[in-house]
C-alpha cells in the first residue's frame, strides 16, 4: 500500500484554536508524520491506495465499520493496515510529496 500527505482544504481561514497536531480530527495529516519517504503503520483513507490483489487477499474493508446511520465507528483504513501488517509483515509506504487536499 502507498499513501501520502493530506492537507486541509480550508473553505475559510484556518481556525486559530486548531493546532496542526490535531489535524487528524479533520482527516488531515497531523504534525509528527515523517517528512521523508518511509514505511508507516497507516495513513488516512483519503490518501491511501492498495494493490488489488492485496486488498482482495485481506478481504477488503470491514463493512461493519464506518460512519453510517447511527454508527460512528471510524478507522477502517487503520484496521485494514493492521491486517496487512499481520499477513504480509509490511506497513504503508508514506510519501509526503504525494499530497491531496481534504
Q: How many structural domains is the chain composed of? A: 1
Residue with cell 502507498: 2
**30-46 tens-digit pLDDT:** 888 999 999 999 998 89
What is the separation of C-alpha 60 from the centre of its chain, rounded to a whole number of angstroms?
Answer: 15
Name the residue range of residue 75's domain: 2-101
- Collapse the DSSP code of 22 into the 3-class scheme (helix H, G, I; strand E, B; otherwise coil) and give the result: helix
17: DSSP letter = T
Write the pLDDT tens digit of every residue in 58-92: 999 988 887 778 777 778 899 999 999 999 999 99
Q: What is the Cα–Cα distance from 68 to 74, expressed in whole angstroms?
A: 10
Averaged pLDDT for residues 7-13: 93
Average pLDDT over residues 18-24: 91
Amino acid at each position: 500500500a502507498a499513501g501520502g500527505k493530506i492537507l486541509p482544504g480550508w473553505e475559510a481561514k484556518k481556525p486559530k484554536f486548531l493546532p496542526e497536531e490535531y489535524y487528524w480530527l479533520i482527516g488531515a495529516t497531523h504534525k509528527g508524520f515523517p517528512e521523508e519517504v518511509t514505511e508507516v503503520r497507516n495513513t488516512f483513507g483519503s490518501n491511501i491506495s492498495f494493490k488489488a490483489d492485496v486488498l482482495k487477499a485481506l478481504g477488503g474493508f470491514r463493512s461493519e465499520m464506518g460512519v453510517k446511520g447511527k454508527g460512528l465507528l471510524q478507522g477502517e483504513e487503520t484496521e485494514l493496515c493492521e491486517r496487512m501488517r499481520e499477513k504480509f509483515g509490511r506497513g504503508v509506504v508514506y510519501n509526503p510529496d504525494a499530497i491531496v487536499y481534504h
